Structure 1
Amino acid sequence: MPEFATAFSGMNSDRKLTHSELVRAIRLMIADEYEAIQVYTQLAESIDHELAREVLLDIADEERVHAGEFLRLLQELAPDEVEFYAQGAAEVEAEIAKTSPGKKDTVAEVKSSGPITIGSLKE
């Protein structure tokens, strides 16, 4: 699996990444974190060894934290990302409202509770 789909594939480059290359690299790292979650969870669900299962699931949870860190960094580096995520969330909320009348507006609840931070995720 390692190849790291280049942001210079593990070797120092003769130049620094541009801002747009950094943004793309962060997006790739987010995808890699989600892939790792899938691999660790799938393996954990495929074995009977309790210790190995617990360790794999714990590591999968750590990858979720990493994904959150990268997402927050991406929002800082590319603020327009937030608008796209909000648009996507609003589209899903519209579908939820159609299919589940009476269900609370979860996006509004999140917005009213303030920004999500690493500290708030631990609570």
Structure 2
Amino acid sequence: TVSAGNGIVYAYRSLGSGTDALPLVLLQHFRGNLDNWDPALIDAPAQERRVITFDNTGVGATSGRTPNTVAAMADDAITFIDVLGLDKVDLLGFSLGSFVAQEIALHRPDLVNRIVLASAAPRGAA
């Protein structure tokens, strides 16, 4: 875990240690937590880079209250990334995580190098 200045204690897992490639931060689907990522998916990139999975605020083992907007989820994810001391990352967003990845890019474009959107849409349903 890592504690943020906002009082949230984030649960996360970090695999791999490649120092040349930027870290890859994974953003989970609705009702998912850091344990939902298939090792078959994350083990391959972890051979060459750091891959980070985490529970967003109020999800799984992370403290706090679950945000009720994608923008708030993105702000919480940015806080987590900042607490880890990462200046630039690649993002992989799956489903709801793809919405969060897009919001992160809007809120903090300096933080994002590349984004992979899986099961994505440019905006959620009404």
The answer to whether TM tops 0.5 is no
- Which of the pair has more CA radius of gyration? 1
Point out the structure with the larger strand share.
Answer: 2
Q: TM-score, normalised by structure 2?
A: 0.24
User: What TM-score, normalized by structure 1, do the two folds share?
Assistant: 0.25
Q: Which has the higher contact order (CA 8 A, sep 6+)?
A: 2
